[in-house]
Amino acid sequence: MTFPVEFQAVVFAAGKGSRMSEITAGKPKCLLPVGPKPLVWYPLYKLQTAGFSDVILIVLETQRAEIQSTLERTELDLKIDYVSINDNEDLGTADSLRAISDKLKSDVLVVSCDFISDVSLKGILDTFRAHNASVTSLFLYPQQSDNVVVPGPKSKYKIERDLIGIDEQTSRLVFLASASDFETELSLPTTLLKKHTSVKIYSNLIDSHVYVLKNWVIKYLKSEENFMSIKGELLPHIIKKQLSKPPKPTDTKESIVNIEDSGDIFVFAQEDELDLEIRNASSYNDHIGDVRPAYHNDSIRCFAYIPPKDTFGIRVNTLPSYWSVNAKIIDRWDKITNAKELVLQHPKAVIASNQVDNKCIIWEGAKLNEKTSFKNSIIGANTEICSFSRVFNSIVMNNVTIKEKVALENCIVCDGVTIESGCQIKGCLIGSQHVISEQSEHTNEVLTDSDRLMEF
């Protein structure tokens, strides 16, 4: 006899990176290099260290082979079930979760491929367990502002903020919306404030896109095809439904049609009778100051988990966050990976240069010729740097060729780029497959083939 696992893990890796299209045109976002590993490796390794042995990874059909081939070389001790979705379908996270609903038999831990953190997943899972929650969300305090200067033209990046309402006494998540939905003021329903008397509205927390969902939420999502995104549509709807009560039963005879076809969320959220009896017999209560029963007898219960303020966590979904995390990854490596060995120079890299500092990461197959110099940079797989060139404070991705006497500083160089001899390039972002003619000089530019960028 086999027993279902307590949680199934799902990682979303089908995003096209539209907020950072300059570096994701022609490359899966989830394979962007972060330190010595591709971006998606970090949430997968986080799940592995949390005790998961199986993961469902949702990818685009055209990217599946490349992603699978890359991850097979990262020596993860996970069984990965790759589920492909059609590139031509404009599917949101809720759509993708609905598409794999038949695979989900247990409660579900959902993680985005761009999540990098030193937080322990035990905290959010234990919060979910302790309250038999419907939904538990992980929120992080923002990192201190570093005034990050991103390669490319100087421009201001808009920071998207959420308004997150949490009952400080119970950790119930009672409100979630984008700050852009409100012009000047926010009014909360009186029914909410009467029920949750200690609500604090946060505008600075980061939604990590890490959620634990009760299995009934998956079944409900399958019955409601109008929800496209988890964070923008499904979660606010469920959070709001906490204020409602199930409709009173009628005397009509039960239909022979499946009652879940009614679309009533409370049909899906019915609690086990034994759980109810145990809670009613217990003296436990999650709030004080009134005589109302535990959880106000709510069958739908959403919670927030906020780790300590010194927890490092970031979503790598913008150019500033991508540039920033690569600047911090070596210093944060031990905490993020539970002290996994950090290999700065891959054993299959050819390094003839004697000027490579200890802030550089060199990937497999890279070739650093004699009389070259490297400081605080990432050199991607199968990239060659020719003699008399220097690379400082830059991210150079895979299959790049940098010819002789090139000076590269504060740049991001995407896959397949060729930089001809004698170029002086500072503060630039160079798109995939671009060729820079010899003796060129560029400062604070985006250098890319415009038609290639538009294609994606």
Q: How many domains does the chain have?
A: 2
Domain that holds residue 107: 7-182+190-245+294-332
Q: Picking from 107-121, 247-261, 349-363, which range would have the lowest pLDDT averaged per residue?
A: 247-261
Report the CATH number that the domain containing residue 435 is assigned in CATH: 2.160.10.10
Which pLDDT score, from 0 to 100, does residue 57 have?
98
pLDDT of 274 above 80: no
Residues 373, 239 share a domain: no
The answer as to whether 99 is a domain residue is yes
106 plus 152 within the same structural domain = yes
**pTM of the full structure:** 0.92
Are 147 and 112 in a shared domain?
yes
Residues 328 and 355 in one domain: no
Residues 319, 433, single domain; the answer is no
- Residue 281 pLDDT level (bands cut at 50, 70, 90): low
Same domain? For 354 and 391 the reply is: yes
**Same domain (yes/no): 152, 38:** yes
Query: Do residue 328 and residue 393 come from a single domain?
Result: no
Domain identity same for 110 and 227: yes
pLDDT, tens digit, 9 for 90 and up, residues 99-133: 999 999 999 999 999 999 999 999 999 999 999 99
426 and 301 in one domain? no
CATH number, domain with residue 68: 3.90.550.10
206: CB partners within 8 A, 6+ apart: 139, 140, 141, 142, 313, 314, 315
Q: Which tens digit of pLDDT belongs to each residue from 133-184?
A: 999 999 999 876 557 789 999 877 777 889 999 999 999 999 999 888 887 7
Average pLDDT of the residues in 430-442: 96
Does the pLDDT value for residue 453 go beyond 50?
Answer: no
Average pLDDT over every residue of 241-254: 69
Alpha-helical (H) ranges within 282-423 are: 319-337
Residue 262 lies in a domain: no
Q: Where are the beta strands (DSSP E) in 128-279?
A: 135-140, 162-167, 173-178, 199-202, 206-213
| Residues 90-93: contacts with CB under 8 Å, at least 24 apart | 91/14, 91/228, 92/227, 92/228, 92/229, 92/230, 92/232, 92/233, 93/12, 93/209, 93/228, 93/229, 93/230, 93/231
Mean pLDDT check: name the lowest of 11-20, 31-40, 170-179, 266-275: 266-275
If asked whether residues 45 and 12 sit together in one domain, one would say yes
Whether 272 maps to a domain, the answer reads no
Looking at per-residue confidence, does 30 or 275 come out higher? 30
Domain final residue pick, 332, 362, 391: 332
Amino acid 65: pLDDT: 96
Q: Is residue 452 predicted with pLDDT exceeding 50? A: no
**Are residues 16 and 147 located together in one domain of the fold?**
yes
106 in a structural domain: yes
